[in-house]
């Protein structure tokens, strides 16, 4: 049953989002100076200067969304009646038949 859970797309997306969030936090901790500056466009320069923070915020939001979806999936696997219905629906919706 654990192997089935690991093969689910929400589990894979959650794991990928977790790694992306960790990398973005490490980049934010590094506090690298921006190498690009565009004259006359303040909003683009602000995004470039604060790109690490923007990346951390975006990856955190994505991580929270995938975490909620992953928890819903775990609850399906945990409840026998929902799990059986889920497996039947998944079997009926297969495309390799």
Q: Phi, psi (5° rounding) for residue 78?
A: -80, -35
CA distance 22 to 6: 20
What's the pLDDT score for residue 38?
72
What residue segments make up the domains of the chain, in order of their start?
2-92
pLDDT digits (tens, 9 = 90+) for 15-46: 999 999 999 888 888 777 766 677 776 676 77
Per DSSP, 33 falls in state: P
pLDDT digits (tens, 9 = 90+) for 38-67: 777 667 677 777 777 888 999 999 999 999
Report the b/e string of 3-39 with b at 16+ CB within 10 A: eeeeebebbebbeebbebbeebeeebeeeeeeeeeee
């Amino acid at each position: 049953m654990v192997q089935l859970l690991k093969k689910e797309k929400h589990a894979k997306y959650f794991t990928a989002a977790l790694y992306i969030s960790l990398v973005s936090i490490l980049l934010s901790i590094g506090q690298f100076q921006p190498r690009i500056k565009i004259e006359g466009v303040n909003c683009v320069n602000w995004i470039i200067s604060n790109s690490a923070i923007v990346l951390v915020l975006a990856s955190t939001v994505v991580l929270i969304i995938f975490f909620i979806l992953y928890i819903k999936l775990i609850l399906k696997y945990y409840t026998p009646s929902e799990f059986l219905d889920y497996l039947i629906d998944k079997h009926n919706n297969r495309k390799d038949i």
